[in-house]
Amino acid sequence: MDYLRMVRPINLLLLLLMQWVIKFGFFEPLGVQVAMETLEFSLLAIATLSIAAAGNVINDIHDVVIDAINKPKKVVVGKTITEKAAYNLYIILNIIGVGSGFVLANRLGHPGLAAVFIIISALLYSYATYLKSMLLVGNLVISLLVASSLLVCIIFDIYPAIQTELMPLQKTAATLVFWYALWAFYVNLMRELVKDIQDINGDKKGERNTLPIVLGRLRVRNIVFAMAISAMISLLLYAYTNLYDYTFALGYVVFLICGPLLYFCIRAWSAKKKRDFAAMSITLKILMFTGVVSIYFFAEILTH
């Protein structure tokens, strides 16, 4: 159970579902010319989830001292799991991830694409070991890596299917997935800032240089509040302008994306205690998922 806790199964499941929706809820209904069949998609999922899980493990290994302050009940490395065993799990997961990526790249006829998984694995290691201690750099890198979990759908499904030039439907699909990846980046960046506020005591002990330590918790809380307000206003304007004739899609955006954003803003306005920021972090995780799932509606919208 502790091994399972280290890899963050719920986060991995949400990641898998987001990739599944893009592949089978958007690309296929839209009729985009793609390269991956079910087997190739399974290899992509195994590679992505294994490397993401490895990133969670190495993060726990290097955060033992800080986590002992921020979340003492959740620390397992050095208690129920030895550091050596955790490192072995990290190595095994990376081998599975990079190996699956290598097989996938070769099946698609583009062996060089295997480098994508090596780069992601290296960045996750760098994030856990030293990048997260650098002001904003760690937040930006991990948010970029979250976005990359969606961008790989373009890299491995659309790019290998290009024959002589990018077809109009491929370009439309790739552009839309890019915008959704940008959404994932933006929401995760907000979540990283919220987590930094939540973990400020442990980060001070670990001598990390986070934005809440530099600017103060209230200023960073106000920055995140402004980011959420901007996102909500932009989404409502987009929905009113472009989704007015699509009742279900409009309702989804208003209630399942803007609704949680509004709740987040209300909670952020007066957040002071650790549990307030914990609730905000969970809301953003849900928000990222419901936001990406909305891509399902564009398959129907674009084919009408």
pLDDT digits (tens, 9 = 90+) for 164-188: 788 989 999 999 999 999 999 999 9
Residues 205-215 have pLDDT tens digits of: 877 899 999 99
Q: What is the mean pLDDT of the chain?
A: 94
Quickly state the pLDDT bin for 143 (edges 50, 70, 90). Answer: very high
- Judged by DSSP in three states, 125 sits in helix
pLDDT at residue 74 in the model: 81
End-to-end CA distance of the chain: 48
pTM recorded for the entire structure: 0.95
The tokens of 6 are what?
């280290």
Quickly state the pLDDT bin for 262 (edges 50, 70, 90). Answer: very high
- Share above pLDDT 70 across residues of the chain, in percent, rounded to a whole number: 100
Whether pLDDT at 274 is above 90: no
Alpha helix (H) residue ranges in 108-136: 115-129
